[in-house]
Amino acid sequence: MGYVETLEPGHFTLADLELLPDDGMRYEVVDGVLLVTPAPLTIHQTATLELAVALRQRCPENLKVFVAPTDYRPTPTRSVQPDVLVCRREDVGPKLIEKPLLLAVEVLSQSTSLADRVLKRRLYEQAGVTSYWIFDPAKEELTVLELAGDTYVERAVVTGKDAFEAKLPFPVRIVPADVVV
- Residue 1 forms part of a structural domain: no
- 3-state DSSP helix/strand/coil % of the chain, to nearest 5: 25, 35, 40
Contacts made by residues 131-134, CB under 8 angstroms, sequence distance 24+: 131/102, 131/103, 131/104, 131/166, 131/168, 131/169, 132/103, 132/104, 132/105, 132/106, 133/51, 133/103, 133/104, 133/105, 133/106, 134/105, 134/106, 134/108
- Residue 63 forms part of a structural domain: yes
- Residue 15 forms part of a structural domain: no
Q: What is the pLDDT of residue 8?
A: 55
- Residue 113 forms part of a structural domain: yes
Q: pLDDT grade, residue 115 (50/70/90)?
A: confident
- Residue 29 forms part of a structural domain: no
Q: What is the pLDDT of residue 91?
A: 97
- Residue 160 forms part of a structural domain: yes
CATH of residue 124: 3.90.1570.10
Tell me: pLDDT of 5 over 50.
no
Taking residues 1-14, what's their average pLDDT?
A: 58
Taking residues 158-180, what's their average pLDDT?
A: 97
Domain count, the chain: 1
- Residue 23 forms part of a structural domain: no
Residue-number span of the structural domain to which 123 is assigned: 39-179
Taking residues 23-45, what's their average pLDDT?
A: 85
Q: pLDDT grade, residue 84 (50/70/90)?
A: very high
In percent, how much of the chain has pLDDT > 70?
94
Closest CA to 125 of 153, 88, 89: 153
Q: pLDDT, tens digit, for every residue of 117-158?
A: 998 999 999 999 999 999 999 999 999 999 999 999 999 999
- pTM for the whole structure: 0.87
- Residue 9 forms part of a structural domain: no
Q: What is the pLDDT of residue 157?
A: 98
Tell me: pLDDT of 6 over 50.
no
Tell me: pLDDT of 2 over 50.
no
